[in-house]
């Protein structure tokens, strides 16, 4: 419940296994973003329990939140890149803020840029690349800290169909390497083609949870 007494989620009980690929669908205002904010501890539930890996959110203190955030990488529809940093620097920054040594940063960043297909773009600025490439940078930045879980909140919302599919394929590849992926999307074609687990949220409740789900709203 938000301070204005809006009940954004109610009676939600979900278990997501390690290495799963899960899509969360629901119309605008259904509660998807609230669910994500709870998972990254940006919001606190009024009641109920959240456990990620072995971390019980009731028992972690403030000092442990950065540790939790390292376990969960998040990418958003609007990329949230730093415009004054190059592609390489945007990714490196995620490591710098967590105190990683320069030698380790120099090793990790090129590797991750290669994984997302941006080896050639390290020296350019966000304004010089396409939307699809920007989302790849955001994914690289989220992944460079080796999170166990990658949350992609409407990652294709600002992309054309071709770039959208490229991003989805990248998420599938990342999932294959062993990262749990949580995807929220409004894109019906993508959800139906994925043939993965689909959790449907409506007015704050899980109304459907299917192993091979379809987008039905
Ligand atoms: P979705 O991501 O599915 O569009 P949200 O989780 O953003 O849905 O919203 C769920 C409900 O909670 C909506 O009724 C929305 O208006 C409300 N809500 C979201 N964020 C806040 C907030 N910070 N304060 C008050 N109400 C909010």
Give the domain ranges of the chain: 1-71+147-217, 81-146
pLDDT (average), residues 157-181: 96
Pocket of ligand 1 (CB under 6 A): 2, 4, 6, 8, 26, 28-34
Q: How far is the CA of 158 from the centre of ligand 1 (A)?
A: 20
Q: How far is the CA of 152 from the centre of ligand 1 (A)?
A: 18
> Would you say 200 and 206 are in contact if contact means Cβ atoms under 8 Å apart?
yes
Q: How far is the CA of 184 from the centre of ligand 1 (A)?
A: 15
Superfamily of domain 1-71+147-217 in the CATH hierarchy: P-loop containing nucleotide triphosphate hydrolases (3.40.50.300)
Whole-prediction pTM: 0.93
In order, the DSSP letters of 141-164 are HHHTT--SEEEEESTTTTS-HHHH
pLDDT digit string, tens, across residues 81-136 = 999 999 999 999 999 998 999 999 999 999 999 999 999 999 999 999 999 999 99
Nearest Cα neighbor of 74 from 132, 138, 168 is 138
Nearest Cα neighbor of 117 from 68, 174, 157 is 174
């Amino acid at each position: 419940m938000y301070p204005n007494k809006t009940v954004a989620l109610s009676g939600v009980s979900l278990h997501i296994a390690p290495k799963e690929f899960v899509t969360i669908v629901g119309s605008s205002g259904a509660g998807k973003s609230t669910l994500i904010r709870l998972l990254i501890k940006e919001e606190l539930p009024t009641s109920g329990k959240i456990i990620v890996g072995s971390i019980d959110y009731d028992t972690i203190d403030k000092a442990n939140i950065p540790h939790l955030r390292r376990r969960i990488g998040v990418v958003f529809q609007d990329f949230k890149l730093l415009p004054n940093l190059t592609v390489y620097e945007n990714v490196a920054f995620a490591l710098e803020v967590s105190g990683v040594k320069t030698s380790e940063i120099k090793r990790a960043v090129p590797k991750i840029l290669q994984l997302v297909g941006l080896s050639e773009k390290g020296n350019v600025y966000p304004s010089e690349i396409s939307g699809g490439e920007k989302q790849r940078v955001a994914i690289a930045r989220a992944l460079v800290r080796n999170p166990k879980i990658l949350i992609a909140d409407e990652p294709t919302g600002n992309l054309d169909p071709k770039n959208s599919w490229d991003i989805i394929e990248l998420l599938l590849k990342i999932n294959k390497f062993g990262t749990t992926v949580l995807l929220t999307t409004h894109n019906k074609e993508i959800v139906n083609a994925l043939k993965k687990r689909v959790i449907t949220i409506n007015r704050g409740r899980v109304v459907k949870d299917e192993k091979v789900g379809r987008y039905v709203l």
